[in-house]
Amino acid sequence: MSDSEQPNESTEKKQDDKVDTGDEDHMHVKVYAPFKVYFDGVATSISAVNDTGPFDILPKHHNFMTLISQGEVIVRTDKAEEKFKISHGIMHVKADDVVVFLDV
């Protein structure tokens, strides 16, 4: 193989980071605590509150990490809206993959 045919590690990594949700209008969301998974599936948005106020995460959101304040985390899917009352947590968003760790 020539150098131009060699796989590029950074390109492969970026492709592997992408979560397959089926289309551009959805993202993968997982909301869990140490002993319970509250939600793990495809969603259209997620809302929560941090120290600066309420915020929403939609598909194609930039990479993002925040501490979540007491209140509700709302996960919206094509069929329903699920609400979880929380005391605190951490949210990490990367490449249409949203992970919310509660009670940490």
**For the segment 85-96, what is each residue's pLDDT rounded down to a tens digit?**
999 999 999 999
Give every CB contact of residue 71 below 8 A, 6+ residues apart in sequence: 48, 49, 85, 86
> With 80 as the cut, is the pLDDT of residue 6 above it?
no
Question: What does the pLDDT read at residue 20?
Answer: 67
Give every CB contact of residue 14 below 8 A, 6+ residues apart in sequence: none
Question: What does the pLDDT read at residue 19?
Answer: 61
A 10 A CB-CB count for 14 gives: 11
Q: Are strands 97-102 and 27-33 parallel, antiparallel or unpaired?
A: parallel
> With 60 as the cut, is the pLDDT of residue 13 above it?
no
Residues 31 and 90 sit within 8 Å (Cβ to Cβ): no
Question: What does the pLDDT read at residue 23?
Answer: 83
Question: What does the pLDDT read at residue 22?
Answer: 66
- The confidence band for 17, taking pLDDT boundaries of 50, 70 and 90, is low
Mean pLDDT of 31-41: 97
Residue-range domains of the chain with CATH? 3-102 (2.60.15.10)
What is this structure's pTM? 0.79
Dist CA 29 CA 73 (whole Å): 12
Amino acid letter for position 3: D
3 state DSSP class of 16: helix
